[in-house]
Amino acid sequence: MNGGLIIVEGNIGAGKSTFAKTLAESLHGEYFAEPDEKTNPYLADYYDEYAGKIPPAGYAFKMQMHLLSRRYRAQKHAQSQIRDLGRGFVVMDRSYYGDVCFARVQHQIGLFDDRDYETYLCHHTDMKVHLEPPAMAIFLETTPEVSRDRISKRMSENAGRRIESDISLDYLHSLDVEIHKLAKSLDGKTIVRRLDWNEDKSPLDIQAKCNEIAAELALEEKSVYDFWTGTDGIGA
């Protein structure tokens, strides 16, 4: 396979950004970053609402719809780069498909009411028909406890997002369950790789794993076009 969309999913703090950047380099492809507080005007307010620092104001729904739109547009752009322009591989740090994991958690913890959740799912489903599945989905699997520890470490090193400091272990557990459901929904519709990422990885370890995946894709006989069918159910 000489091109395709690769998505990297995992819990908060798993190490997706570093892995996705390194994989893009190994594939001589392009890296698409996950939207953050600099590009999402609702994210900081959402975390304040989640932590009870401000009265409930519906920021969860506003934030998630904003993220869904940005991830959809990013994936459409990646799709165009690959399919129409033949520009090789694009590696996304989280994707449109992974967005629904967060929406489900918002609903479970009461920050989405039933009406908000149904509206979100309608938009998610309507957008889905315009997207092709990725050529590969990589899941960096960490326990919620490891994710929490890495978030804390990032905060202590001033390398993380300040707004993530209030994330609870229960939230990470709920998100972990939904990410596993996503991996199961993608299995059989694309190439799924689930990597145990609980142990800290050195840059050389990450590079070696990314080189291994790049070599695997180089030997893959399927064309990326073979994956652009049968999208029903992905991320649903």
Please answer whether residues 44 and 159 qualify as being in contact, where contact means their C-beta atoms are separated by less than 8 angstroms.
Answer: no
pLDDT, position 160: 52
DSSP 148-195: HHHHHHHHHTT-S-GGGGG--HHHHHHHHHHHHHHHHHHBTTBEEEEE
pLDDT in tens, 102-120: 999 999 999 999 999 999 9
> In angstroms, rounded to a whole number, what is the distance separating the alpha carbons of residues 20 and 206?
10
> In angstroms, rounded to a whole number, what is the distance separating the alpha carbons of residues 147 and 153?
10
pLDDT, position 180: 97
30-32/191-196 β-pairing: unpaired
Please answer whether residues 93 and 17 qualify as being in contact, where contact means their C-beta atoms are separated by less than 8 angstroms.
Answer: yes
Which residues does the chain have with pLDDT short of 70?
37, 85, 87, 156-163, 165, 222-236
Q: How many CA atoms lie within 13 A of 32 on its CB side?
A: 23
Residue ranges of the domains in the chain? 4-226
Q: How many CA atoms lie within 13 A of 169 on its CB side?
A: 5
Assessment of whether the complete model's pTM goes beyond 0.85 = yes
pLDDT, position 231: 43
Q: Which CATH number fits domain 4-226: 3.40.50.1370, 2.30.40.10, 3.40.50.300, 3.30.230.10?
A: 3.40.50.300
Candidates 199, 65, 22; CA nearest to 6 is 22
pLDDT in tens, 50-72: 888 877 778 899 999 999 999 99
